Structures are given as C-alpha cells and as structure tokens.
C-alpha cells in the first residue's frame, strides 16, 4: 500500500481554482503573488477558467503557504465536494477518528462523517488534495472508502452485508441458547450441551467466525493507536471466552478450583445481541433514507428532444444547455428552462406547495418535476439535471441528513475519549474484585469486567442523533418541509410561533365553491349548471370544483358542443345554441363580453360566466386548511 511521506508536499505541476477574479488586473495580481513564492518557477492564471497552473520544479512546497498567499492577495481558493462511502465504522469514536484524519489534510476545508448513513462529505481544494489522497487518509485511519454517485447516497450497508450480519447473529444467539439449556436443572443432564467440550466448540465457532469483524476492526484501530466500540466488544467477549477456555483446560489437568465455571454462553450472547443490534440499525438507516430515494425517483429520467424535424427520446443526463425539449399535456417537465413556444398551465405544487396551476407562456421559467397542464410547450434547457432547482432541494435534504447538530459534535468528542476510559475502568473493576472480592474471585472479577466493557459501549451516542436527524428531515420532506441543517431541527423545539408568507402550503389543494353571484336573469343554480356543462370537459382543478358543487346540488351537467380550452384563461362551448364562456376577466373581455371592474373576491379565486354573449355572473372559491397544518 502506498504511504504518505509528507502530506504537505504537492506534485511538480498542479492547478488551483481561484475565486474572485473579475478582470485582467486580477489575473496579473494573482500570478505575481504566486511567483513571489521562492519555490514557484512560474504561475499561469486563466480568467476564463478561473484557475491558476503553478509549476514547482522541486515539487516541495507547503500547502498552507499557497492558501495564505492567494488569500493575502484578496482572493479565495475554490473547493469541490465529494461524498464517500465509509466501511468499518461502528460507533461515534470511529466517526471522530475519520473526521480528524481528514481535517489533518491541508487541502480539506470541511469534513462531515455520518455514522447513520456510513458516509463522509468532504469539501476540498483541487490541486492541494485529490480524491485519491482523501481516500488514502481514510485508509490510513483504519477504514475503507469508495466514491458513490448521487443516486447511491444514503443507503449504508448493502443487502448482502445485512444478510450476513443477521445470519451471524442468529447462529450466535442459537449457540448461546443451546449452551444455556445445559444449565437448566434436571434438563441439562439429559442434553449433550451439558458437555463443556461441546460448548467450547460452539463458542469457538461463534467467537472467531461471527465475531471476526470485531477483531479485525479493533486491530485496525490499534494499529493506528486508536480505539472504538469493537475494541470493547473484542476485549469483553475474549475475556469471557478465554476464561472459559482455561476453565475447560483446568478440568483436564485437575485445576477445577482456579476456574470453577465457564461463560461460553456469555460471549456467544454478547456477540449475537450486538450483531442483532447492528442489523436493526442498518434497517433503520435504510428506512430513514427512503425520502431521498423517493425524491430521486420522482424526477423524470427521459426527455423528448427536438432535433431538426425529429423528436427523440433521450436520457435527461444526456441533455446539454440549449437543447429544446417538448412537453406534452400531463407530462413532467424534465429540465429547468424557459418556454420558447406554446402556452399552458403548470402544476408547481412539488416545489411551491401551491395547488393552483400557474400560467406559462413564452419567456416564463419552468422547473424540473413540475407537471404540465393541457397545452403543448417547448422549453429551452438552461440548467442540467445536477443543477436544477429540484436537484438542489434534494441536495439540501442530503446535506441536512449529513450535517451535525451541536449536541452530536459533543457526543462524538466524548465517545473518542470514552472508549479508553471504559477500558481503564474495566481493568480497575477486575483488579478490585481480585483483591477484595469473595471466592471464586477470578470468576466474579471476569463477569464484572465483561459487564463494564459491554454495557458502557458508546454505540448509542453515535447513532441516536444522526438517525433522529435523518428521520426528522425525511419526514419533513414528505410533508413539504425542508430544513437547512441539523441545527435548525435542534432549534425547532424552542419555536412557539410560526409565520407563513403564503397559504398554499397549508391548504388541502381541493378548492370548493363558496358562493355564486348572479348579475342577470339567470339564477345561481342555472349559472352553475351552464358552467358545469362546459367545465366537465376540463381537467383543471377549478373545473373539478364546479362539477363537484353541481353534483352536490343534484344538478346533472348536460353535454356541450364545440368545446374549447384556452390554458390560463378559460373554457367555452355551445349549449342550446348559446355560447357559454367560463374563465377570467381577460378571457371574457377578449370575446367582447363586458365584465364589471368592481368585481373581486377575498377568497381563493373567482371565475366569470357569460351566457349567449352577456355577462351572467361569477363563481367564488376557497380552499380549506389541512387537518395536519
């Protein structure tokens, strides 16, 4: 394995991202500042790419010197973010060790390690660090890592590892159960498990097959002069197993008084329970990240792209800025962009929470995962799939789940100190029982020490808070609530008042008719009947409300002819040779109908009805507050 000789040294030639340059003078300023460093032969700065290529013949320079030089010149080094999957972490102490190893790298700005998702999000400066150097630092801290794509985020243990863990847990617990059956009075003498040699065989299989992972992890930690939860489990179960082994050997050589009892069942039960707990933890992690998977699945995977006179279906990831896509009625919009042709209404409730569709015409922006209404529109791509508003919302949820609340940072720091402290307390407990304990002293001392090692494991310290954050942010996303970070969730418990700047996120999205005003000889029911006859052919949310109100009044809408829909304006049709118009003021006025200017409503909205060329009345709507709002 390659070893890092000096992490502060960099390659002979490298490229740094520079943030803040705006003109040629900035380029000159940065270049001159870098070339004043004695080790730098030359620096080539490019304003277009916002990067500086630095040549160092010796290949030896302090990274911190480069950072301070750029900052002293009035600029900043840009950074990139990556997410790595970390294997082998079991407790908050592991989190602390990985984070400290990453933060020791000069080119790493921030590192957030999440035990619940088994991931590390690292912000680093390209040129000063690379993905390989970051992964090498993780390897040198005793853990393994791999780069994961966005769609793979947040899923921790694989199905195969989950299956292996539960198999080992079941075998361990069954082994402990079989051994303990031999201890039952009157029953044990009739069973072969009373034979301590057979118990030794069962415990040995469990200890070094099911418990192998504890030894591997604790050894890797010891090699790097650290400890973790696996250290406690390995030491505790090994103590019980070795004591019992000596007891079996003592009976062979006639030394029963030194080790009168065996505790093979104890070591098996501890391994089994810990593995069962890890399996349940893994299941909880996957459930907590279902919200991310659900959001990712909601985004369209393909788009209808216009190539000349042809329309081709291509993966969204293959689109480039400037591509024109066509969105048919009822389809999800696959890109962020602007309408270049067509007219429609778009349901943006997935982004805004507002149930009423918004009118979209040429020049208006549209967003990924919103739903097109009744019109065909052509959209020019302005943001790619990884830079859309929707993807940023998903990233915000991922960042929240990966962030740490202040209380979690305290827990991680304490856990790194708690493991060695527990080892010391266990050793003192053992010695105390040896010195002042009753006979058999070794037996009592062993059980007491093992109890301290196992019961005091800090596994819950590392998992409780991150899983709570994952569940909270996931459930929030399902209900349209986004948290900026874990601190916001922790602070929320102190909130006693919430102010909303709009009501669309609080209502059911099912408007109802609240009133009908007649401005003609037609009654309210007649106006409703004419309106429903036209609107029953429309899928608009307001149209459905009119039809529903008509049905609640036992009025059966009749069929109209020559039905037409004008997205964002209204609908029209002919009934009994009378032209019926239902829509907003602009729609009616464009058809020559005089609509009074004084009409308005404080409710959700209103539509106006014209019968046979004359203004007849208006229908008002409002939405109801959700029960869980």
How does residue 193 score in pLDDT terms, banded at 50, 70 and 90? very low
Write out pLDDT tens, residues 227-238.
777 888 888 888
Query: Which pLDDT value is given to residue 408?
Result: 65
Model pLDDT, residue 380: 92
447-449-451-455 Cα dihedral, nearest 10 degrees: -170
Q: Is 236 left (phi over 0), alpha (psi -120 to 50) or beta?
A: alpha
pLDDT attached to residue 6: 42
At CB < 8 A and 24+ separation, what contacts does 162-170 make?
A: 162/279, 162/282, 162/283, 165/275, 165/278, 165/279, 165/282, 166/275, 166/276, 166/279, 168/209, 168/210, 168/271, 168/275, 169/210, 169/272, 169/273, 169/275, 169/276, 169/278, 169/279, 170/272
Helix (H) or strand (E) run with residue 45 in it = strand 42-46
445, pLDDT greater than 90: no
Does 186 score more than 70 pLDDT? no
Cα–Cα nearest to 403, from 110, 48, 128, 16: 110
239 pLDDT more than 90? no
What is the pLDDT averaged over residues 507-524? Answer: 84
Residues 400, 392: Cα–Cα separation, whole Å:
12
**Residue 129 confidence (pLDDT):** 83
Averaged over 313-323, what is the pLDDT? 87
Kindly name the residue from 501, 597, 627, 628 that is annotated as catalytic. 501
All structural domains of the chain, each given as residue ranges with its CATH number in brackets, are 13-77 (3.30.70.100), 299-389 (2.70.150.10), 512-622 (3.40.1110.10)
pLDDT computed for residue 156 by the predictor: 46
Give me the mean pLDDT over the 66-87 stretch: 84
Q: Among the listed ranges 381-390, 461-470, 485-494, 591-600, which one has the minimum average pLDDT value? A: 461-470
Q: What is the mean pLDDT of the chain?
A: 79
pLDDT tier at 185, thresholds 50, 70, 90: low
**Residue range 203-222: mean pLDDT, rounded:** 86
288 has pLDDT over 70: no
564 DSSP β-pair partners: 572
pLDDT of residue 2: 36
70: left (phi over 0), alpha (psi -120 to 50) or beta: alpha
| Banded model confidence at residue 8, pLDDT cuts 50, 70, 90 | very low
- Provide the pLDDT for residue 151: 47
For residues 443 and 104, which has the higher predicted lDDT (pLDDT)? 104
Using alpha carbons, list the distances in angstroms from residue 475 to 287, 292, 401, 481.
11, 10, 12, 8
- In the predicted model, is pLDDT for residue 297 greater than 60? yes
Which carries the bigger pLDDT value, residue 432 or residue 295? 432
Active site residue 501: yes
- Percent of the chain, pLDDT > 70? 83
Q: What is the pLDDT of residue 561?
A: 87
Q: Is the peptide bond prior to 440 cis by the omega test (within 30 degrees of 0)?
A: yes
């Amino acid at each position: 394995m390659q070893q890092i000789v000096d992490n502060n040294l960099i390659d002979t030639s490298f490229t740094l991202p520079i943030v803040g340059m705006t003109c040629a003078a900035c380029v000159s300023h940065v270049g001159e500042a870098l070339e004043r460093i004695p080790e730098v032969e030359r620096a080539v700065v490019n304003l277009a790419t916002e990067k500086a290529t630095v040549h160092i013949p010796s290949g030896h320079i302090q990274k911190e010197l480069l950072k301070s030089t750029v900052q002293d010149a009035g600029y900043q080094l840009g950074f990139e973010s990556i997410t790595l999957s970390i294997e082998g972490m079991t407790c908050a102490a592991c989190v602390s060790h990985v984070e400290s190893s990453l933060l020791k790298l000069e080119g790493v700005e921030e590192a957030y390690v999440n035990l619940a998702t088994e991931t590390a999000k690292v912000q680093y400066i390209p040129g000063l660090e690379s993905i390989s150097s970051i992964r090498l630092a993780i390897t040198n801290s005793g853990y393994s890592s791999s780069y994961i794509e966005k769609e793979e985020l947040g899923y921790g243990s694989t199905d195969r590892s989950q299956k292996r863990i539960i198999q080992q847990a079941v075998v361990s617990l069954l082994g402990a159960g079989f051994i303990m059956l031999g201890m039952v009075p009157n029953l044990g003498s009739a069973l072969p498990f009373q034979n301590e040699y057979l118990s030794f065989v069962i415990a040995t299989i469990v200890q070094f097959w099911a418990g192998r992972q504890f030894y591997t992890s604790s050894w890797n930690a010891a090699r790097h002069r650290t400890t973790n939860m696996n250290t406690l489990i390995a030491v505790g179960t090994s103590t019980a197993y070795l004591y019992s082994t000596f007891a079996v050997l003592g009976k062979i050589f006639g030394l029963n008084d030194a080790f009168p009892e065996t505790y093979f069942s104890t070591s098996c039960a501890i391994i089994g329970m810990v593995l069962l707990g890890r399996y349940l933890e893994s299941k909880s992690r996957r459930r907590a990240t279902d919200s991310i998977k659900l959001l990712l699945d909601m985004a369209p995977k393909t788009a209808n792209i216009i190539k000349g006179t042809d329309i081709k279906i291509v993966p969204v990831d293959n689109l480039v800025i400037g591509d024109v896509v066509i969105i048919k009625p009822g389809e999800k919009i696959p890109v962020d962009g602007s309408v270049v042709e067509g007219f429609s209404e778009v349901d943006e409730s997935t982004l805004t929470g507002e149930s009423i569709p918004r009118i979209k015409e040429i020049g208006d922006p549209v967003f990924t995962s919103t739903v097109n209404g009744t019109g065909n529109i052509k959209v020019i791509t302005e943001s790619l799939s990884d830079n859309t508003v929707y993807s940023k919302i998903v990233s915000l949820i991922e960042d929240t789940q990966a962030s740490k609340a202040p209380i979690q940072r305290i827990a991680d720091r304490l856990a790194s100190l708690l493991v060695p402290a527990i080892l010391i307390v266990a050793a003192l407990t053992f010695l105390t029982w040896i010195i002042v304990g009753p006979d058999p002293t070794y037996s009592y001392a062993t059980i007491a020490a093992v109890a301290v090692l196992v019961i005091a494991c800090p596994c819950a310290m590392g998992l409780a808070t991150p899983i709570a954050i994952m569940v909270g942010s996931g459930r929030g996303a399902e209900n349209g609530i986004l948290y900026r970070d874990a601190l916001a969730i922790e602070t929320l418990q102190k909130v006693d008042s919430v102010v909303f700047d709009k009501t669309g996120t609080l209502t059911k999205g099912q408007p109802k008719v609240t009133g009908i005003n007649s401005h003609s000889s037609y009654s309210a029911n007649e106006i409703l009947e004419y309106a429903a006859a036209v609107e029953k052919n429309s899928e608009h949310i307001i149209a459905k409300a009119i039809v529903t109100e008509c049905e609640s009044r036992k009025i059966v809408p009749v069929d109209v002819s020559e039905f037409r829909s004008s997205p964002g304006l209204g609908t029209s049709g002919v009934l009994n040779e009378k032209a019926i118009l239902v829509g907003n003021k602009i729609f009616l006025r464009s058809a020559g109908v005089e609509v009074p200017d004084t009409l308005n409503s404080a409710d959700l909205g209103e539509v106006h009805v014209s019968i046979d060329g004359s203004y007849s009345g208006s229908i008002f709507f409002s939405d109801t507050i959700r029960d869980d709002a």
